[in-house]
Structure 1
């Protein structure tokens, strides 16, 4: 037993790199035990070693960079994430005693900020940002309607009746004017996200003035602003758009948490989804298509339930109704998104409009069977059929799903590749740092179009982390604290790619159309052969 303990301790000592911190003369290897050493002394040194190893908080993690993965895990907090590791040691203060119930923002948060640290270690960590992902190009397309005219104050204020709130940035400070309540806490967590953006890039956002609608459907119709006598369209921010509207698409509230249905902020949830993927290998998952959700929000979802298996027909579908009221009473025990990577295929279908569930479904390593969408969010326009997902015809759902599952089970390698590509896209390109960078570039480009200098509305209040989080309670406060940006990013935002040139955009859209048509051709041949 003593020899085994000795061997284990020697391995830890050599693998950890701790010996580098002692000179040759004083580098005692405390676990080389002579055979005559008493068991009492052995365990005394073991306890002493473990106490120093696990309790002393000041040990720098750099001393174990050459050690094993298990040792690195010892010194890495379970809450560490790529996004959190990007922030340097500097953190902006957060103190509820400053704002608390007075609803006054702390003056310790800088409206402008410069690190002023030119040390070699800081310079080495502050890396140059790479080019943003492909979907950032849609920023230019969403703002194209105002490229020639610019955005006047009248164009912004015209949408006051249909906006839930107005948001103004003046001299690095954020001000909010509420017009109407939004469903649940959509507005609250959207605002929270913008507050965190300003903590990540303090003083970097230019002055701006936006109206925001938090409902499901985009509302600025293109047809109302076409023709020789048409006026320029109003500017309104929204979570989704479609080919018939001009709403400016913005990341949705759920990236910072959805407390009403217990969905965590994106950083910890993405980590949970990644771990959930590893529990069951794809080939060991159930050989069917899975969907769970609220079918009562759209006719399309109710139609989808007709594809569920029954005693007369099996369309390779296993679909379930999500009762959120019941789930709430049960503590959401059966609603954990990370526990739903159990089937080889997962179905995405829109609800009233686009659904936030799309990113959760894509992240599951199982091919997403995506029922023909009519709406898009800020990143989905860059997804490719057959590569990131498998297209399902919305007018022929059951047969499309049956064919997709049969095809995937027959072509396992190709099916797994589709699932992996979709999951990789979410894990790597929809990281929280890119969500913030998308917000930053969208708001910055929008600000350039303003033809006036924004001013603080008469009834607006200043927003900051203290004003929002200190009075909050329950999951609202928990999710805010969990998603709070601790300090400024140690690098600049990614570089915004240039706009599509018309031929390139047309070619990209045509490519997507051709890929979908290819699947429809395969499906048609499949059913013709059966019949």
Structure 2
């Protein structure tokens, strides 16, 4: 490089006759021009850079004002600060796409796509609803029908209030009914035929292929005080740290499950897969005694300390179970017993990518095969566990949980064919009305999960609805993958039987 520069300089000197006056003047003028041009270019560049630099945004906190609510449980008149930051739309170059499971928002709302939702439809959902929630101008109003089991309703409502704090003034006006019981009730078979009524829109934590209930993130994302389960953001960090303490290869080479078998016959049936003097199905199954746990201070139920086996079993309770996300986050291979229900994110889980499918009608033999296969194919099995944990850590973080809520409620609001109004028996609800008077773990979990500042950027980009052909292909690929596992299992047991003859 330096040699090239010297040759260029020599060539320039030879071509110029420095003894001629006009040459010296011309050169001086040309040099001056270069210096001025360089200065101007640098100045313009500096200005351009300074203009393109994003100035640091001042974070505006929304305080929890308990001073005015100690006695009356009322909400502050001026709930949000007067000057809120404008949500910055993401530039196209860094557009954040929502995870795949956001596609299911369109499917869950499809029953009302053509007709929209009338107030009569919403009111009909109060037959089983625990509460009715109306949002007007960013403020929430609650009409309670029936108190839910434990604090399900409390933390569901708390989660929605945090959404309003995260995106103040951005959640549209809406009117909805919410049922906090496990199993879905809006049967699709009741709304078929030319003269059939449209189904009432009812939100709950899960659905199935025979119902129209709208799946919504469950209460435990903001904490479950009765079982000492922390808010999801905090617990996810604990689970991640727990995974680092024990490598997959160093874990117990068995399938682990711990839970309450009393809630479902399928769980009682799982107990038969436990190791005994006569048979070892490669499963280690334990009953969870919650009464004893409460007495002993939850010493044996720390989820972050239960990632000690290479395989973990997920099996539904009376319906879907909140335990699924905790099991998926463990770096262990999730052995998923064929489910009857889904929640808001599980329909995008892929067999043999995020979990190993287990036959519901033949659990023990299916578990035995899965564990034997994994222990003989350790690297492939470990990849399954890692993929599930990555899905949870990346696609199920609270940022996306809130964005799912935002998009679901926004799309639902678009379908309303009437202007929502405050029900006569409703009361205004805000974070102060809930947290200021809470006690114990309930208050701790509320404060730990509270959104303290508005989000400066917009929600992730909502995907378009899946075409019917794409949805069909997705379902068929899942079924083909499960069938492949079942064929492998069949050959495995045929070989075992041949060896025993």
Structure 2 length-normalised TM: 0.86
1:110 aligns with 2:80: yes
Query: CA, structure 1 residues 114+286, in 2 after alignment: closer, same or farther (shift >3 Å)?
Result: same
Partner residue of 1:91?
61
In the alignment, which of 101, 105, 111 is matched to residue 135 of structure 1? 101
Determine if contact 2:98/2:462 at 8 Å carries over to the other structure.
Answer: yes
Partner residue of 2:159?
193
Determine if contact 1:129/1:493 at 8 Å carries over to the other structure.
Answer: no
Determine if contact 1:112/1:202 at 8 Å carries over to the other structure.
Answer: no
Partner SS, residue 396 of structure 1: helix
Distance 2:184 2:340 in 1: 11
1:311 aligns with 2:277: yes
Partner residue of 2:393?
427
Partner residue of 1:167?
133
Query: CA, structure 1 residues 183+114, in 2 after alignment: closer, same or farther (shift >3 Å)?
Result: same
Determine if contact 1:174/1:463 at 8 Å carries over to the other structure.
Answer: yes
Partner SS, residue 350 of structure 2: coil
Determine if contact 1:221/1:246 at 8 Å carries over to the other structure.
Answer: yes
1:256 aligns with 2:226: no
What is the CA-CA distance between 1:236 and the residue it aligns to? 0.4
Partner SS, residue 176 of structure 1: strand
1:226-241 mapped onto 2 (5 Å cutoff)? 226-241=192-207
1:221-300 mapped onto 2 (5 Å cutoff)? 221-300=187-266
Determine if contact 1:259/1:476 at 8 Å carries over to the other structure.
Answer: yes
Partner residue of 1:390?
356
Partner residue of 1:514?
480
What is the CA-CA distance between 1:111 and the residue it aligns to? 8.9
Query: CA, structure 1 residues 489+125, in 2 after alignment: closer, same or farther (shift >3 Å)?
Result: farther
Number of residue pairs aligned between Structure 1 and Structure 2: 442
1:384-463 mapped onto 2 (5 Å cutoff)? 384-463=350-429
In the alignment, which of 483, 490, 498 is matched to residue 524 of structure 1? 490
In the alignment, which of 168, 180, 186 is matched to residue 220 of structure 1? 186
Distance 1:128 1:198 in 2: 25
CA distances 1:85-114 after superposition (whole Å, capped 9, x unpaired): x99621012121022231111123239864
Query: CA, structure 1 residues 408+439, in 2 after alignment: closer, same or farther (shift >3 Å)?
Result: same
1:147 aligns with 2:117: no
What is the CA-CA distance between 1:285 and the residue it aligns to? 0.4
Determine if contact 1:100/1:466 at 8 Å carries over to the other structure.
Answer: no
Off by >6 Å, runs of 4+ in structure 1: 122-127
CA distances 1:342-396 after superposition (whole Å, capped 9, x unpaired): 0000000000000000000000000000000000000000000000000000001
Partner residue of 1:378?
344
Query: CA, structure 1 residues 394+329, in 2 after alignment: closer, same or farther (shift >3 Å)?
Result: same
Partner residue of 2:38?
none
Determine if contact 1:111/1:203 at 8 Å carries over to the other structure.
Answer: no
Determine if contact 1:164/1:182 at 8 Å carries over to the other structure.
Answer: yes
Query: CA, structure 1 residues 224+516, in 2 after alignment: closer, same or farther (shift >3 Å)?
Result: same
Distance 1:256 1:366 in 2: 24
1:101 aligns with 2:75: no
Query: CA, structure 1 residues 111+140, in 2 after alignment: closer, same or farther (shift >3 Å)?
Result: farther
1:180 aligns with 2:180: no
What is the CA-CA distance between 1:476 and the residue it aligns to? 0.5
- Which of the two has higher C-alpha Rg? 2
- Unmatched 5+ residue regions in structure 2? 1-55
Query: CA, structure 1 residues 394+124, in 2 after alignment: closer, same or farther (shift >3 Å)?
Result: closer
Query: CA, structure 1 residues 187+126, in 2 after alignment: closer, same or farther (shift >3 Å)?
Result: farther
Query: CA, structure 1 residues 518+111, in 2 after alignment: closer, same or farther (shift >3 Å)?
Result: farther
Distance 2:378 2:469 in 1: 36
Distance 1:463 1:520 in 2: 51
Determine if contact 2:315/2:339 at 8 Å carries over to the other structure.
Answer: yes
Partner SS, residue 245 of structure 2: coil
Partner SS, residue 100 of structure 1: coil
Determine if contact 1:126/1:490 at 8 Å carries over to the other structure.
Answer: no
Partner residue of 1:353?
319
CA distances 1:393-435 after superposition (whole Å, capped 9, x unpaired): 0001000000000000000010000000001100110000100
Partner residue of 2:172?
206
